[in-house]
Amino acid sequence: MRRMTLDEGRKLATAVRTPNPSLSAVRPDPSPAILDLVERPFRDVADAHERLSALEALLYEREDRRAAFLTIYARVTAEVHDGLAHDTFDDPAWVAEYLVTFADHYRRAFHAFERGVFDEVPDPWRLSFETSLRGDALVTQDVLLGINAHVNYDLALALSEVGIDPDRRRKYADHRRINHVLRSLVDDEQDLIAARYADGVADIDDSLGRLDETLSFLTLREGRRNAWRGAVVLTDGRYGPIKRAVRWYLNSLSMGAGHFILAPTANTAVRHRLERLEDGDDGP
């Protein structure tokens, strides 16, 4: 196999980092009410849930498809918050900080995008936000693009920031307990998306793959496992190049997954068929 030249490697890295040109013309319409919800860091889990829910309601009212991911995310935040109140975790203080730090990654990306400061928006979030604003993907894809950006890109960074030491094994056990919370919500989440956005979400299973199986892949199995591994490398890595390589890997992984999520609707005829199914229209 021929080795890649240095110039080819640079071109590949640039291609991975450069958002899809077809999405670059999409711009938000900044709103003071929206900006007010995401301007300040979250104080605690309750504040994160309250503001995420308010943002979801405001976007939904404006028919802004970025609301679809928040419909899921606000529900997850509420469930983990409830787990903190019922002694689900060994280290509730760490889980609470973890949740807030993680949510703040989303908040910062959304705030930068809303203000038009696109250089501060991570590539997978830009792909997610611009696709949702463009409004021509499936609602299911809007949701999955948000999950992809948050889990495959943000989570490792958030874990390394909040810290996985001391008692790394104990913290990993709590990290896995959140997986159980997510797994318990899969059916409810699918019902929420069907009720609020697309009656036929369940009917696209055979065409796009079951939503719950895809969520499982992105959030419960590979995504969260890889995020912990990334946090370990970011924590244990002694040299700057190692940390930069991890960030490059997270960006490349999440951008690749994002385009994979969009792949089924790249064909116009297939997209129209899936749109009809998602809307509950199974006619010809």
Q: What are phi and psi of 182, to 5 degrees?
A: -60, -40
pLDDT band at 4 (very low <50, low <70, confident <90, very high): very low
Please answer whether residues 181 and 83 qualify as being in contact, where contact means their C-beta atoms are separated by less than 8 angstroms. yes
User: Rounded mean pLDDT of 30-55?
Assistant: 95
DSSP string of 80-108, one letter each residue = HHHHHHTT-SS-HHHHHHHHHHHHHHHHH
Side-chain half-sphere exposure of 77, counting CA atoms within 13 A: 27
Between CA 173 and CA 80 the distance in angstroms is: 15
Q: For tokens 């705030």, what's the residue?
A: 111
| pLDDT tens digits, one per residue of 155-164 | 999 999 999 9
- pLDDT score of 274 more than 70: no
User: Rounded mean pLDDT of 137-149?
Assistant: 91
Between CA 74 and CA 193 the distance in angstroms is: 13
pLDDT band at 214 (very low <50, low <70, confident <90, very high): low
Q: Domain-by-domain residue ranges, the chain?
A: 28-277
pLDDT score, position 275:
59
Instruction: Spell out the long-range contacts of 202-210 with Cβ–Cβ below 8 A and sequence spacing 24 or more.
Output: 203/277, 203/278, 203/280, 203/282, 204/138, 204/140, 204/274, 204/277, 204/278, 207/264, 207/270, 207/273, 207/274, 207/277, 208/138, 208/140, 208/264, 208/274
- pLDDT score of 243 more than 80: yes
Please answer whether residues 125 and 111 qualify as being in contact, where contact means their C-beta atoms are separated by less than 8 angstroms. no
